[in-house]
Every structure is written in structure tokens, then in C-alpha cells.
A and B are shown apart, each in its own frame.
Chain A
Amino acid sequence: MAASVPRKIWQTLAAIKTGVVLLILVVILSAAGTLILQRPATDPDEMQRAYSPQVLHLLAGLGLTDVFHAWWFVLLLSLVSLSIIAASVQRFPNAWRFFSRPYKSPDETFCKALPNHKLIPIKNKDEETAVSAAEQVLEKAGFRPERIVRENSFSLFGERNRFSEMAVYIVHASLLLIFLGSNIDALLGWRGFVTLTRGQESSQVKPQNGSPRSLPFAVRCDGAGQENYADGTPKRWWSDLSVLENGKVTLRKQIVVNDPLVYRGIRFYQASYGQTGKIDKLLLTAIPRDGQSSKDVTLGLEETVPLDADASVRLAEFIPDYVVSDGQVYARSTQLENPAAHLIVTSKKSGQSINVWLPPIPGLEQNSSSPYAFEGKDVQMAYFTGLEVSHEPGQWAVWAGVVLMGIGLTVVFYFVHTRIWVIPVRNTRGQLQLWIGGTANKNKDAFEHRFRDLADRIESELKTSVETGAEAPAAVLAGK
């Protein structure tokens, strides 16, 4: 009967050879993806520096510049999943049959073929005593022996760790679960970035490419900061975040690197921190010319603060790194290197506005006309906090798969399915003997030792049961 095409496909898929070939392909292509520069991570100009235009064109055309997102790579991984499913489904019925129907009374061919067995002569005892002795030993060894009774005979069967026969399917199922999780994330998950300055709130997330995504809630930065070690390297970045839904704060958390904010399945990670180059607050001491006590003034950009009943001061400009050229003030950079502040002192009475520059810049400053002298105390630059945002609905399947795989692997390697049979038999001369046989599904060399040990213990238990007062045996003849 010729196999139909679907059947042939199924069998090829389920074959171990297919799996091996597919995995070798995965290895080769993944390795290529690490050796060839990959597009999203590498800048286009770096790519052009590394490869000639023809080579680059070829690589990009084949999809080798973004291997892990290429359709053929995804297809390959899907085929791997299918082959695992096919191989498992094909082998599972047999394994399940083996698992669910324990082979409790072995037949003669099986007994003859079993490598681990021992025949113990039963002298001056009946079958019952012998089997009970064996039962006791097996019980103590943790086998929970069971008596198998048939019309003409009875025997013992004990086993441990039967479940380990199924462990390999658990391992493969866990692998499929992990694939499922990562596929869900590939399809439904997304990642983006949002930058917030202090007090700013946003519900828009910028993805790496594409239009901004709107969230059903907003995140507000209530504060952010950076702590450094003594040598200046960053020790800790933190942000105080509040989540606002319909205008109300529903969650507050201080996040640091390694400890994100999670809200409705969306995670906000502390990714970066830096200066915006703009000033946040300027702290000054205003010293009145008439000798009265000085006062502390805090100004934000374009902010006006009253100094007394008449005068007020406004921060008109702040240049973090100034340089004067041709009588004009220019900003050399956005780093706080050489700051200059332009204050405007206004008098209500006279209506005058006086330009005060700190430090005084010749040609622009009118510091001496000002009713107040100013001393700079502190500059607080505005900082932004950079948050990485991600939504990975499938990760729970991935973590569940990992845990399941851990369990599966532990059982596969460290739990041995061991079976012991004890059958009273008669040899050709009609003498009663106890046949003990055993098998284990792995670590066969260690099991050999354990089996011999067990058989010896049954033998000695048998001997002592004579001495504890068993009667002279009634003749034990067939017919029981």
C-alpha cells in the first residue's frame, strides 16, 4: 500500500534525521547572523564602511543583514517546532502505552533475556515465606511491591519513578511553550522609548521605527537623578514615576536600572539619564544696595519673582557655556562649563528694566544701576530621564516553559525508572527457586550494582526468615 503524500510528509517531519538537519541549519544561520553585521543594531554608514556596495547589496537582498527577522528564518524555526511536535506525537502513543500499562508479570522469553537477574534457591520454605521475605526487602528499598495473583502462580512487582518515562515529552513540550511565548511576543509585543523631564507627563511611546503609539494611560516624571561613585562613574539612575489614568494617580514607583515599573502589562525601564542643556533652577542671593538684609531667590527660565514692593527680577536668558564675540554672547555648548545668566530687574515705580549679567559682560550689563546686586549660589540643570518601554504578553509562556524544562530535565537525568520482579519458580528437578529480575531505564551500570545489592539482601532476608521459627515446610507441590 503506497503511502499517501501527507503521510510521507508527516513521517519525514517526525524523523530524527529531519530534526538534526533543521537544527544544523539553525546553527549555521544563527552563526551567520552574529558574524555578518546586522541592520537594526548597526548604523548604515558603519555597514557601508565594512562591506563593499556589491557585497552589501547581496547580503541585504538575501536578508542576511537582518537574519533573525527574515521570513525564511522564522519559517525554519516554525519547521523545527513542527518537527518536535511530529516526533513527539508519533512516539507518544507507544510511550503512553508503556507508561500506563505496567508490565507486571513477565513472560519466559522476557525473563530469559533480562540481563539483571538472580536465582535464589528456596530451601525448606514455601513460596509464601519466600515472597514475603522479598516483599519486605522491596518495601524497605522504597519499591512498594504489589502481589500479582494468577490462577496457578503469584509473583511480586515493584517499581519506582515510573513518571520519568514521560519526562522527555515534558522537556519537548516546554520547548514548544517557550517558542509559543516568543512567537506571541513577536506578533503582539512591542518596544519603544519615552523621554521625560521633571514634571512632564506623556502617553506617547516612540518605537524604533514607525509612528508613535498611544497608551491608555500617562506616565509622569516627578523627579529623576543620578548617583556617582567617587571616581565619577555612574552608580545609580533613578526616576520617580507616577501613572495617571483619567487624571488620577493610580501608581507611584521609584525605578532604577534592573527594577522597572509594570502597569497593565507594560513595563517602563530606566534606560538613560542626561542633561537637556537647559536650566531648571537658578539660585541667587539678592543683596539690596541700601544695606538691608539679603534674600535668597530661586528663578526658573522666564520666571519673575518679586524682590520687594517695587522691584522684581526675571531670568531672561541662561547660557550654560558662554563666549563673547563682537559684543554678542554666544553659546559654545550645552555643557555647564562657563555659565552666564541674564537677569532683568524691573521697577514698578520707574517702569525701568535693568539688564543684569552674571558674570558682568562689558557692553551689555547695567549691573551698577540695579537696586540689587546678585550673587549666584547654585545652578540646577534640567535633566531628562530616558525610559525604555516594552509590552511582552508572551513572556509568561516563556518563563513557564523554562520552569517546566528545568523540572523535565531534572527528571530525565536524575530519576531512574526501576522495575523489580520476584517470581517463585521450579527448576527442572522440581526445586523451588526465587527468580529476581530488574531493569532500569538509565544509568545501567549503577543499576547493576544496586540490583546485586538488592538480590543479596533478599537472599539474606530469606535465610533469616527460616531462623525466626518458620515450621518445617509442608510439601510444596504444584496444584496451588
Chain B
Amino acid sequence: MERARVEQQPAATGATLVVAVGLGVAFLLFMAFLNVVKSGNLLNDSNLLYAALIFYSGAGTLYLGFGITGTPSYIRFASIATCAGLLANTGAVARRWYEAGHPPFASIYEMLLMFVWTLAVLTLIAEKKYGVKVIGTVTMPVAIVGVVLMQLLRTEVRPLVPALQSTWLHVHVTLAMLAYAACALSFALAMMFLIQDKMKTETFLAGTSVFSILTYLGVLTRFEKWGGLSVVACNPEEKSEAFLSRGVRLFVVIPDLGWLLLLVLAAVAAPLVLYLIWRKTHNEGMLEMANRAVFLSILLQVLALVFFLLRTRGGVYPSLDADGLFPTALAASPFILSGLVGAIFVSLLYLLLLWRRTDLERMLPKADELDRITYKTIAIAFPLLTLMIAAGAYWANRTWGSYWSWDPKETWAAITWLVYAGYLHMRITRGWRGRRAAYFAILGFAVVMFTFFGVTYLLPGMHAYA
């Protein structure tokens, strides 16, 4: 069946891209260095992070270049750039640890720092040990986004509230980060399996659209009657979230953001609608329009993101619960930000698949190998999940006197555990392989995402820290 293809991007030749990236990295580093020399302090937190960002950007560009053209030398340089970025990142982690006096686990900023670090480590492991060379195309852009997010968040060291001052906290959070990273990796591998298993590009289109719809629906739970979006207010002197009373956050309404996001919702839903029409009528033109709709939706999503960024970083807004105008901050809405950025990223990945599918298929390992590696990754993730839950229970027992209180986060962590246990059971005792196993792995990761983001954003509870 003729598949509609948007025009191919011209591929750069091998050496040109490497040189261009090399020059770019060198230039940015030099500029940063000049700036640093002016201010005096070389190896502080944010400079190291900035260096990491530059290296990860270079690596991401080269991975993307490899993804598009297949030139092997890109991978070599991309690996080197990733290593350099990892070094700078490790430096930032060490510096943060030293300044805070405790391992970096207490705030969103610190957790992002560790997450980005873990992504870089896993990218190198996946490449060297498992030979999955393209994984950088996925992980490095996520790492870049992570570092950018960190630059936008408040960075000063928040002292730990009494409940968080425990070694078991560090153990629990480390295990959580490792487990979630392994689950994310298994998800990426399952996706690659579906590509290699010749799942139709249209199905990916539908999947991307469904994911985007769910994300924007989640964000839009904060839609207010007059078209605004509720976000958490911030307290500028204390540089923290603003509270109405103990445990109850103060929300402000950013006007018009709700309408804009509704528009974006329609834009990301359009590809799915067109896909369904195509399924019914077999009109190829519908599919072509669907792909164009994805492209259009990306533009709209970026617009919404910029609007959101501009509005949160300046201006004061009214609240429905209190009189007066209050400011907000990007740091107060990490989930909305992640949702917007994540959705854009997923749509971009779909475009990559659409334009370069044959190249991707050439460069990725075979389907059954990917299937096996997915299983091995989950075989690592599952014990980590188990230990994470156990460590969390032990910490809760020492702090609040109860190792299991059916708190939403605890319950969803248990659900995640059960889903992955289901995957393992189906695979080991029922011999589930291939497509079914891949779907299960994707379901597992969806539950992980809900546990990690959805519970804190959409449901209240004691797990208010992160």
C-alpha cells in the first residue's frame, strides 16, 4: 500500500556534521568560559551543568545525525561527547552534594540532576554493552531537556525537613531512579521492537496521538471556567510554593492558557481522528493529512509552551481562593512543563520514524534480539522496583510508624510492581514473546509514568515531596 511520505530532509555528509558540531561545542564552551572568567567562579554547580548541557547537545545532534544518515563515525563522536557531558554532570552532582551536605535527593532540581546523570550512564551502557547504538537519539534529547529544565528551576539548596533526613531516603530514592530508568529503557526497547517487527507507521501515528491527548487531558484537569489554567503560586521571598494553610497549596489562574491548551488538544487529537477516518474509508489522502496535522500540532504545542514559559516567569495572577495577585514560577509547575515538553518530544520522534524508517530499521538490532533485551532490562527493573518499595516501606515505618498505609503513591508503586510481575509471569510461564510482550512492557511504563507524575500532580497524599 502506498504510504504517504513527507519530503525527506537532505542529509549532511559525514565530516561536515562532525566538524560543525565540534565547532559549535567549542564555541559555546569558549563563550561560557569567558563568562565564567568574568564572574570568577569556575567549577560551580551551574557552570558544570552548562558544560554538561553543551556536551549533551553536541552528542544529541550527532546521535540524531546518525539516526538520519547512518554514518558510523557520528556514533563514535557522540559517545565521546556523552562521556564528556557525563563527566561534567558527575562534577555537578558532586558539587551539589558537597554544598548541600547530603546526597542530592531532596528537591525536584536535585532529582532532575540525578535523572539526567542516570540517562547518560544508561546511554553509554546500552551502547557499549548491548550494542543498541541509536538509543542516544532518544536519551540525549531527554537529557538536554532535563538540563534546560534545571536551569529554569530554583537552584538554591533547600534544607531537608525532618522526615527527609534519613539514610533510607537516599536508598529509596536511588533505587527509584534506577528502577524508573530501567523501565524507561525497556519502554524504548519495546518501541524499537515494534519498529523492527514491522508495525505500521500509521499505528505509531495513532499511538502518538493518543499519548498526546492523554497528556493534554491530564494538564487540562486544571482548566478553570473562564479559560484560564490553575497553577501553583509561588512565594518569592521564601522561593517556595505558596500555601493557603498547612498542606493546602495556593493556586492562581493564568488567563487564556486554558483556551490555548484546548486548542492544542484539538490539534493533537486531529491526527487520531484522521487516522480513524482513513481506517474506515481507506482514503490515502486522509493519512497524508494526518501526518501534516502532526507537524502542525508540533508548531502549536511549541507556541503553547512558549506562552506558558513567558507567563509563568513574569506577572502576577489572581487566585480563586484568596484576594490579591500572586506570582508563580516555573519551578511550581514541573508536571505541566514535563507534560508539554514530553508531548512535543514524542511527536518529534514520530516524525523521525516517518521520515527515516528504513534507515532506522537498518541500524537497529533485529526484532527478536530487541525482544530478548527488553526482557533482560525488565529482569533488572523488577528487583529494583521490589527493593525500592521495600526501602520506602522501611523508611515510612521509621518515620511515621507504619510500613504500608495505602497512600496513593505506595498503592500505585504496588500496582506498577504487579504489572511488571504480570509481564514476567506471562513471559516465563506462558511463553509470551514478541508483540504481546512489547505491549505489556509499554503498559508497564505507562503505569510507571502515572506513578511518578500522575499521582503527585493529580492525586493528593503524604508523598508531597516529589
Chain B 404-435, CB within 8 Å of chain A: the 1/0 string?
10101001101100110110010001100000
| A182 and B401 contact, Cβ closer than 8 Å, known pairs A34-B459, A229-B159 | no
A234 touches B162 (CB 8 A): yes
Q: Which of B427-460 contact A (CB under 8 A)?
A: 429-430, 455, 459
Residue A449 interfacial (CB < 8 Å):
no
A236 touches B459 (CB 8 A): no
A389 touches B162 (CB 8 A): no
B398 touches A258 (CB 8 A): yes
Give the docked Cα–Cα distance between A229 and B397 (Å). Answer: 25
B425 to chain A, nearest CB (A): 7
B415 touches A27 (CB 8 A): yes
Chain A 8-30, CB within 8 Å of chain B: the 1/0 string?
00000000100110010011001
- Which of B238, B379, B399, B421 is in CB contact (< 8 Å) with A413? B379
Residue A460 interfacial (CB < 8 Å):
no
A413 touches B383 (CB 8 A): yes
Give the docked Cα–Cα distance between A402 and B175 (Å). Answer: 15
- Which of B165, B386, B418 is in CB contact (< 8 Å) with A406? B386
B407 to chain A, nearest CB (A): 9
Q: Which of A247-285 contact B (CB under 8 A)?
A: 256-260, 267, 269-271
Residue B95 interfacial (CB < 8 Å):
no
Interface of B is mostly: helix
A27 touches B386 (CB 8 A): no
Residues of A near B238 (CB, < 8 A) are 231
Residue B400 interfacial (CB < 8 Å):
yes
- Which of A20, A34, A402 is in CB contact (< 8 Å) with B422? A20
| A409 and B383 contact, Cβ closer than 8 Å, known pairs A27-B418, A231-B238 | yes
B383 touches A269 (CB 8 A): no
Residue A51 interfacial (CB < 8 Å):
no
A206 to chain B, nearest CB (A): 14
Give the docked Cα–Cα distance between A234 and B163 (Å). Answer: 10
A395 touches B162 (CB 8 A): no
Residues of B near A19 (CB, < 8 A) are 425
Give the docked Cα–Cα distance between A38 and B402 (Å). Answer: 17
Residue B204 interfacial (CB < 8 Å):
no
Chain B 348-388, CB within 8 Å of chain A: the 1/0 string?
00000000000000000000000010000001101100110
B401 touches A233 (CB 8 A): no
A125 to chain B, nearest CB (A): 40
Residue A98 interfacial (CB < 8 Å):
no
Residues of A near B418 (CB, < 8 A) are 23, 26-27
A16 touches B401 (CB 8 A): no
- Which of A233, A237, A267, A406 is in CB contact (< 8 Å) with B159? A233
A30 touches B414 (CB 8 A): yes
- Which of B163, B386, B415 is in CB contact (< 8 Å) with A31? B415
- Which of A27, A259, A260 is in CB contact (< 8 Å) with B401? A260
B399 touches A409 (CB 8 A): no
Residue A420 interfacial (CB < 8 Å):
no
Residues of A near B394 (CB, < 8 A) are 399
B416 to chain A, nearest CB (A): 10
- Which of B163, B168, B386 is in CB contact (< 8 Å) with A257? B163
Residue A33 interfacial (CB < 8 Å):
yes
A390 touches B411 (CB 8 A): no
B402 touches A390 (CB 8 A): yes
Residue B77 interfacial (CB < 8 Å):
no
A23 touches B422 (CB 8 A): yes
Residues of B near A271 (CB, < 8 A) are 400
Q: Which of B114-164 contact A (CB under 8 A)?
A: 159, 161-163
A236 touches B159 (CB 8 A): no
B414 to chain A, nearest CB (A): 7
Residue B211 interfacial (CB < 8 Å):
no
Give the docked Cα–Cα distance between A147 and B414 (Å). Answer: 49
B76 to chain A, nearest CB (A): 26
Residues of A near B165 (CB, < 8 A) are 236, 257-258
Chain A 224-245, CB within 8 Å of chain B: the 1/0 string?
0000010101111100000000
Give the docked Cα–Cα distance between A30 and B459 (Å). Answer: 14
| A406 and B383 contact, Cβ closer than 8 Å, known pairs A229-B159, A233-B161, A388-B400 | yes
Chain B 235-255, CB within 8 Å of chain A: the 1/0 string?
000100000000000000000
Residue A35 interfacial (CB < 8 Å):
yes
Give the docked Cα–Cα distance between A348 and B159 (Å). Answer: 56
Give the docked Cα–Cα distance between A259 and B390 (Å). Answer: 18
Give the docked Cα–Cα distance between A233 and B237 (Å). Answer: 13
A256 touches B406 (CB 8 A): no
A38 to chain B, nearest CB (A): 8
Residue A462 interfacial (CB < 8 Å):
no
- Which of B403, B429, B459 is in CB contact (< 8 Å) with A16? B429
Residues of A near B166 (CB, < 8 A) are 258
Binding site for A on B (CB under 8 A): 159, 161-163, 165-166, 168, 238, 372, 379-380, 382-383, 386-387, 390, 393-395, 397-404, 406, 408, 411-412, 414-415, 418-419, 421-422, 425, 429-430, 455, 459
Which 3 interchain pairs have the tightest Cβ spacing? Answer: A390-B401, A257-B162, A34-B408
Binding site for B on A (CB under 8 A): 16, 19-20, 23, 26-27, 30-31, 33-35, 38, 67-68, 182, 191, 229, 231, 233-237, 256-260, 267, 269-271, 388-390, 392, 395, 398-399, 402, 405-406, 409-410, 413, 445
* A-B contacts, 16 listed (Cβ < 8 Å): A23-B421, A26-B418, A30-B411, A34-B412, A68-B406, A256-B162, A257-B162, A257-B163, A258-B162, A258-B166, A259-B398, A390-B402, A392-B397, A392-B401, A399-B394, A405-B390
Identify 20 new A-B residue pairs, CB closer than 8 A, beyond the known A23-B422, A33-B406, A34-B408. Answer: A27-B415, A27-B419, A33-B411, A34-B455, A34-B459, A191-B402, A231-B238, A233-B159, A234-B161, A235-B162, A258-B162, A259-B398, A388-B401, A402-B390, A402-B393, A406-B390, A409-B382, A409-B383, A413-B382, A413-B383
